[in-house]
Amino acid sequence: MAREYLSINKDVWNADAANWVDFARNRWALESPQWGNWGNSDDGLALLPSDMADMDAIELGCGTGYVAHWMHRRGARVTAIDISVEQLGTARGLAAEHGVQIDFVEGNAEATGLPDAAFDFAISEYGASIWCRPEIWLREAWRVLRPGGRLVFLGNHPLSLICSPLNGAPAERALHRPYRGMWGADWSEVEFEPSGVCFNLTMAGWMDLFAEIGFAVTGYHELYAPDWAQGTRGAVPADWAKDYPLEQVWKLQKPD
């Protein structure tokens, strides 16, 4: 497991932030949420409650803040935290353009510094869900959630990781790394499109961790690329992702 993953990931996202401005602007303008690399429809997924009036919500690893904006539009009081000052700059600029009040916090989703039991709902889409250590950030999410609070997160499916070549080339229809003992991957020094250090677990590993912390699983989804998809996104070819799940969504709840 790579050391100094937080500083590596912070540097990666500060350097790459400018390349995500147009994507962010598009997502902020959507009438209905779209999820993951291929913009899957929210129909049938319902990652966010339809009515979030009077709810305190947090996005963990918010990036450019579009999920935070979707929660704000549904009535929530929203806090959003990210380690990248450049990504937060984009988020704050778009919030100003849209005239919305969201509390954007520069910080580490593994140790937010926010009060205990402060939120009713927490979410992470490709934020803390993949760039932070699961055993750390999930416990932090538990801490800041109120009894009965819900956590939803979306990240890479384990299958997409074990089918990814070690040099960072796009996923293939072959197994390139062990499933047993999976922890994630260090992409910081690979040949193709180096990035940061991501984390993942086996399905049993996720379930064991949820049980250890105390979360109940209330839902699970596997996401595929839509029929219209072409090309490659996030080092996963569309043709691969139409046959195999590239992403997963976990829905969890902290008991009352």
Residues of the chain with pLDDT under 70: 1-3
Summary count for the chain: helices (H), strands (E):
9, 13
Would the pTM of this model clear 0.85, i.e. be above it?
Answer: yes
Q: How far apart are CA 8 and CA 76, in angstroms?
A: 32
Q: What does the pLDDT read at residue 16?
A: 95
**Is 151 among the domain residues?**
yes
Apex CA 212: angle with CA 207 and CA 213, to 5°? 100
Q: Is 164 in contact with 200 (CB distance < 8 Å)?
A: no
Q: Return the bridge partners of 233, or none.
A: 236
Q: How far apart are CA 154 and CA 173, in angstroms?
A: 23
Listed in sequence order, the residues at least 6 apart from 45 whose beta carbon sits closer than 8 Å to its beta carbon are: 35, 221, 223, 249
Q: What does the pLDDT look like over 145-168, one tens digit per residue?
A: 999 999 999 999 999 999 999 999
Per-residue tokens: 238 = 């569309």
**Is 114 among the domain residues?**
yes
Q: What does the pLDDT read at residue 59?
A: 98
Q: How far apart are CA 179 and CA 33, in angstroms?
A: 32
Q: What does the pLDDT read at residue 3?
A: 61
| CATH number (domain holding residue 49) | 3.40.50.150
**Is 30 among the domain residues?**
yes
**Is 165 among the domain residues?**
no
Reported in sequence order, the residue ranges of 168-255 that DSSP labels E, i.e. its strands, are 184-186, 197-199, 216-223, 232-233, 236-237, 247-253
Q: What does the pLDDT read at residue 24?
A: 97
**Is 223 among the domain residues?**
yes
Q: What does the pLDDT read at residue 2?
A: 52
Structurally, the chain folds into a number of domains equal to 1
**Is 136 among the domain residues?**
yes
**Is 9 among the domain residues?**
yes
**Domain that includes residue 78, residue range:** 5-156+203-230+247-253
**Is 46 among the domain residues?**
yes
Per-residue tokens: 131 = 């760039």
